[in-house]
Amino acid sequence: MILFDGVLALLIVVLAWRCVTAGDLYLGIVVFIVMGLMLALSWARLDAPDLALAEAAIGAGLLGVLLLSTWRALPGHRRQDRDHPPARKAVRWLAGVASVAFGLVMAALLHALQPDEDAAGALALGRLTEAGVEQPVTAVLLNFRSYDTLLEMGVLLMALIGALLARTPLAPYGAATDDGTDSPLIPVLATTFTPLLLLVGAFLVWAGAYGPGGAFQGGAVLGGAGVVLVLCNRLQGAPEAGILLRLLLVLGVKVFILAGLLMLPLEGAFMAYPPGLTYPIMIAIEFCLATSIAVSLLLLFTGTHGVRVPER
Amino acid sequence: MTLPDPFALAAAALLALGFYGFVVQRHPLRRLLAINVFGNGVFMTLILVARWMPGGPDPIPHAMVLTGIVIAVSATAMGLALVRRDLRQGDGKDGGDRD
Amino acid sequence: MTEWVPVLVVFVPFLAGVVQFMAGRRVIAWWPVLASVATVAVSLWLTFAVAAGGGIEHFMGGWQPPLGIALRADGLATVMILLTAVVGGLVSVYALEAHGTGDPRASHFWALWLMLWGSLNALFLSADLFNIYVTLELVTLAAIPLVLLAGPEKTVTAALRYLQFALFGSLLYLAGVALTYGLAGSLDLALVGPALTDGGITGAVAATCMVVGLLVKAAVFPFHVWLPAAHGGAPAAVSAILSALVVKAAVYLLLRLWTGPLAGLADGLVAQLMGALGAAAILYGSIQAFRQERLKLVVAYSTVAQLGYMLLFFPMAVAQAWEGAVYHGLSHGVAKAALFLAAGNVLVYLGHDRVRDLKGLDRSLSVSLLAFGIAGVSIMGLPPSGGFIAKWLLLRASLETGQWWWAVVLISGGLLAAAYIFRVLRYAFLQAPDRPPATTGPIPPPIMALPATLLALLAIALGFTAAPLLALLGGLPEGTG
Amino acid sequence: MTGLAVLAALALVIFFGLGLLRIHLGPTDADRILSIQLSGTTTVAILLLLSVIVDMPALLYVALIFVLFAAVIAIAFVRNPKGGA
């Protein structure tokens, strides 16, 4: 197995090297996506199936699609490299030397690092029964360190606002025109893959309570379903969002905050769940989070305030 | 003298390459790629730390990585929207007058 | 009840921002007002509670560290929250007119600003290394869209560069956090210190990653390159928030880490290096500020310079330097917000902010220019202002520790500040107008001029209120130096 | 049995590396996107083997996600949202 790990690690390094130095921007993006595949594999090897799922769905999957679509939307995307050459040779050498030194130091440190036995994580594993779910990562995300997760939902919301304010939608509002490039395959893809993605996404959210999965992985897959619909022209960007869509966007963060504030007088601490109700509250929060994540990621992809079904 | 963990070397290489790309590349989209490479190096470091804890993978770094991935992707998505706007404008001015 | 206040200080503004976002394009005028008043009220409540009973701790979810995340309101956190309440409250008043309710982007401004307010308070209260990373990202990702509000076509390049540097800085910080967790098995600020100190080279590298990441975020020279365009290009209310509060949040974290978990690692040479960066920032920023042709860029480069003063704490690290650095943060925050709001009024009235064409404004914009001048007194460090007290404390610290070279930097920084402030005032007041200025906008109404004036007066008032504020701050945390 | 699976996984990861040559050589964009598809398929196969080797059924989910997103990436390559730039 060490040989397998070695080849895997070597491939990751080669891919990362090509990704940052590729002569062609498109090549860099392709290599980045493939590197995502390899990373997910290596994380699976490192006993982190949750993270392999997240990398597959968010890191390589959705981000890869977004990178490709953005590249295609760039004006004159073929001559990006001519217009933006890398830094001068002297800078490159200096940066190269500095980064090699940095890498060697980090490698030496990581080689010598010995985490100790009474880490916070051991504590988390030991008190799992109090957390309400069997899956340790979910317990940390939604109970022990739920505050981080809550703030992270705020990050997602603000990133969305920022993307909207740039006003460069990937899915423009104009009426859908059939420009004759519709392949007969497109309806098939839309009707086959959307339900599959929805099903798998919902399953992953629910599975998060007892096995790998959770709101983020599931939400990303659900968002992927929306992306397929947009790509296949079944959904379209809209300049305005209805109240329902905005409600879904903030559902996760709002339910989270309100639940937390409600616990303040009841249990004496923000987000301290009352014993006995921990599991149902966490599942409810998880589904709300997944919904908001799915809608946010979809709108981050389209870059529009809302989406609508095109009129035909 | 133990054999170094190949993934530890990979994590260090990702950090170094991400840093190199960030310094050297001028294209905004490439910089975002380099930042993400660096981020993956950080995430791999955290996963290694989690794995080395005696008594099983430590869920806290795993949760940190999950949070980190979502933050990195949302920030990158916002960055990509900015890149589209930036390059569209640069194109109107015939490009190349930035940096 | 008191132990709930830290939670309220974070979530009252944050939730208000989320509600504003949900309301969509409509802005109901009383909602931002209500939210701002409520936030200022809970911030004051926290201040009085801490002043009366000492620090407050709140364990999120009822889980104690190292398992859970703690919010800790100590003296340093409380004075920063108080600063945010004062600057934020007055900027909100300004923004009510400037962004109002008619502007189509008003809803985004209020949603982002209220969430940013909550995020800043969350950052100040956080006592957990990873939670600090999340709050840093929250603050950044709220600040960048706010920059875009000036119109994406004008500020997108600045915003993009800001984003790249901020992202890289916070990931570097996170790399340090990862190593720290590997060493200490904990993320709580109060618990990781010993492991970092005993961590040998790993501890040192972890500390370096965190410190350098924060230096990038704080736009400390030579990582300042993203700051002037972003702060200079944003709408006035946003520039005020960014310069007075957002960059200071990263410097705040530097102070917090240096006097907390990193205290055992502080090496004399590294401390001198930090001080040298601060000195370079003071000199470079001031000279650049003097050379700028646009008023808002003068003020933005002045921020680069003024942040340098807070870094002078590191080489001196005595009680007076501690008080001086934090007090400098407070008085600069108030004064800089006043300068940006005043500059914003000039921009509204003239339609441009070219320094050379500021002639003949003393009649029509007298209140705003007066605010600019008064705030300038504090920036220059002249008595009787908050800036003076801060510089005086730093000066005494430099003499006490026998590091006279920092005194030289302090004095030349003050002279350079005088040069760039007076350059602006000379054009505005002293040169007789050849002809009435060509204006494009209305004279800003009093509701836009008054917040700037109040902030400027507060910057002066800080010269008289040092004793209670420094008592609230408390002495230098133990184990530093 | 496990030994065989390990060998197979090792072989697959080496094939993966060979597939990367196509990405490097190109020459057209379509070649490159096809090699993404190829590496996706290989990754799925490796994951299936790994889930047997380390006895971690959760890796099957990961494989499932890869299959789904490989399709999404293929669609994204051939299509822009309508009215695109």
Q: Which one of A110-124, C107-121, C415-429, D51-65 scores highest in mean pLDDT?
A: C107-121
Q: What is the mean pLDDT of chain A?
A: 86
> Using CA atoms, how far apart are residues C174 and B42, in angstroms rounded to an integer?
7
Nearest chain A CA: its distance from B42 CA (Å): 11
In sequence order, which residues have a C-beta less than 8 Å from that of residue C130 and are 6 or more positions away?
A145, A148, B64, B67, C174, C177, C181, C187
The predicted pLDDT at position D55 comes to 84
Q: Show me where the domains of chain A are located.
A: 1-74, 131-176+183-312
Contact list, A106 vs chain C (CB under 8 Å): 205
Segment B37-44 mean pLDDT:
96
Nearest chain D CA: its distance from A287 CA (Å): 19
pLDDT band at B98 (very low <50, low <70, confident <90, very high): very low
B43, B58, B94: best mutation site toward chain A, by most A Cβ within 10 Å?
Answer: B58
The predicted pLDDT at position C101 comes to 64
pLDDT per residue over A223-243, tens digit each?
999 998 888 888 888 888 788
Hey, what are D80's tokens? 């822009």
Pairs across B and C, CB distance < 8 A = 77
Least confident range from A19-28, B9-18, C314-323, C462-471: namely A19-28
Residue in D closest to A54 by C-alpha: D62
Q: Is residue C417 part of a domain?
A: yes
Residue in this structure with the two tokens 């109404």, named with its chain if needed: C445
| Nearest CA-CA partner of A141 in A129, A149, A131 | A149
For residue C478, count other CB atoms closer than 10 A to its CB.
Answer: 8
* Of A175 and A253, more confident: A253
Q: Which domain holds residue B76?
A: 6-37+46-90
Q: Concatenated DSSP letters for B37-72?
A: HHHHHHHHHHHHHHHHSTTS--HHHHHHHHHHHHHH
Q: Which residues of chain C have pLDDT under 50?
A: none
Segment A258-281 mean pLDDT:
87
In sequence order, which residues have a C-beta less than 8 Å from that of residue C301 and are 6 or more positions away?
C228, C285, C286, C288, C289, C292
D/C touch flag: 3 or more CB pairs below 8 Å: no
The predicted pLDDT at position B57 comes to 86
Q: Which of residues 29-58 of B touch A (CB under 8 A)?
A: 29-30, 33-34, 36-37, 40, 43-45, 47-58
Nearest to B42 among C137, C156, C171 (CB): C171
Nearest to A162 among C60, C148, C179 (CB): C148
Cα dihedral angle (C110, C115, C117, C123), rounded to 10 degrees? -160
Nearest chain A CA: its distance from D52 CA (Å): 12
Query: Is A83's CB within 8 Å of B90's CB?
Result: yes
Nearest chain C CA: its distance from A1 CA (Å): 25
Q: Show me where the domains of chain D are located.
A: 2-78
Q: Which of residues 176-205 of C touch B (CB under 8 A)?
A: 177-179, 181-182, 185, 187
> Using CA atoms, how far apart are residues C253 and C251, in angstroms rounded to an integer?
5
B2, B5, B30: best mutation site toward chain A, by most A Cβ within 10 Å?
Answer: B30
> Using CA atoms, how far apart are residues A179 and C22, in angstroms rounded to an integer?
36
The predicted pLDDT at position A86 comes to 76
pLDDT band at B94 (very low <50, low <70, confident <90, very high): very low
A118, A143, A165: best mutation site toward chain C, by most C Cβ within 10 Å?
Answer: A165
Q: Is residue C108 part of a domain?
A: no
- Number of C-alpha atoms within 13 angstroms, CB side, residue A292? 28
Continuous segment of H or E residues that includes residue C73: strand C70-73
Query: Is A243's CB within 8 Å of C183's CB?
Result: no
**D18-55 exposure pattern, b = at least 16 Cβ within 10 A, e = fewer:** ebbebbeeeeebeebbbbbebbbbbbbbbbbbbbbbee
Segment A242-254 mean pLDDT:
90
In sequence order, which residues have a C-beta less than 8 Å from that of residue C83 and are 6 or more positions away?
C244, C245, C329, C330, C333, C334
Cα dihedral angle (C463, C467, C469, C475), rounded to 10 degrees? 130
β-strand pairing of C56-59 with C70-73: antiparallel
Nearest chain A CA: its distance from B60 CA (Å): 5
Query: Is A151's CB within 8 Å of C119's CB?
Result: yes
DSSP category for residue C72: E
A48 pLDDT more than 70? yes
Residue in A closest to D72 by C-alpha: A228
Q: Is residue C463 part of a domain?
A: yes
> Using CA atoms, how far apart are residues A15 and A8, in angstroms rounded to an integer?
11
Pairs across A and B, CB distance < 8 A = 295
Query: Is A269's CB within 8 Å of C62's CB?
Result: yes
Hey, what are C357's tokens? 């064409």
Contact list, A211 vs chain D (CB under 8 Å): 58
Amino acid at C312: L
DSSP category for residue C63: P
pLDDT band at A83 (very low <50, low <70, confident <90, very high): low
Nearest chain A CA: its distance from B3 CA (Å): 9
Q: Which of residues 444-473 of C touch A (CB under 8 A)?
A: none
- Number of C-alpha atoms within 13 angstroms, CB side, residue A114? 4
Query: Is A52's CB within 8 Å of D76's CB?
Result: no
C134, C174, C183: best mutation site toward chain B, by most B Cβ within 10 Å?
Answer: C174
Q: Is residue C60 part of a domain?
A: no
A52 pLDDT more than 50? yes
C134, C153, C192: best mutation site toward chain A, by most A Cβ within 10 Å?
Answer: C134
The backbone torsions φ and ψ at residue C157, rounded to the nearest 5 degrees and listed phi first, read: -65, -45
In sequence order, which residues have a C-beta less than 8 Å from that of residue A189 and are 6 or more positions away?
A228, A232, D71, D75
Nearest chain A CA: its distance from C66 CA (Å): 5
Contact list, B27 vs chain C (CB under 8 Å): none
DSSP category for residue C266: -
In sequence order, which residues have a C-beta less than 8 Å from that of residue C197 and are 6 or more positions away?
C203, C264, C265
For residue C373, count other CB atoms closer than 10 A to its CB.
Answer: 18
> Using CA atoms, how far apart are residues C474 and C471, in angstroms rounded to an integer?
5
Distance between the two ends of chain B, CA-based, in angstroms?
48
Nearest to C141 among A124, A159, A267 (CB): A159
Query: Is A44's CB within 8 Å of D23's CB?
Result: no
Q: Is residue B98 part of a domain?
A: no
Segment A278-302 mean pLDDT:
91
B/C touch flag: 3 or more CB pairs below 8 Å: yes
| Nearest CA-CA partner of C106 in C33, C39, C20 | C20
Alpha helices, DSSP H, located in A128-208: 128-131, 136-139, 146-165, 185-207
Nearest to A83 among B37, B78, B95 (CB): B95
Nearest chain B CA: its distance from A79 CA (Å): 10
The predicted pLDDT at position B95 comes to 35
Chains touching chain B at 3 or more Cβ pairs under 8 angstroms?
A, C
Query: Is D79's CB within 8 Å of A186's CB?
Result: yes
The backbone torsions φ and ψ at residue A153, rounded to the nearest 5 degrees and listed phi first, read: -65, -35
Q: Is residue C392 part of a domain?
A: yes
Residues A285, A286, A292, A293, CA torsion sign: positive
* Of C451 and D78, more confident: C451
The predicted pLDDT at position B79 comes to 95
Q: Is residue C171 part of a domain?
A: no
A19, A33, A216: best mutation site toward chain D, by most D Cβ within 10 Å?
Answer: A33
C/A touch flag: 3 or more CB pairs below 8 Å: yes
pLDDT per residue over A91-107, tens digit each?
888 989 999 999 999 98
Contact list, A124 vs chain B (CB under 8 Å): 58-60
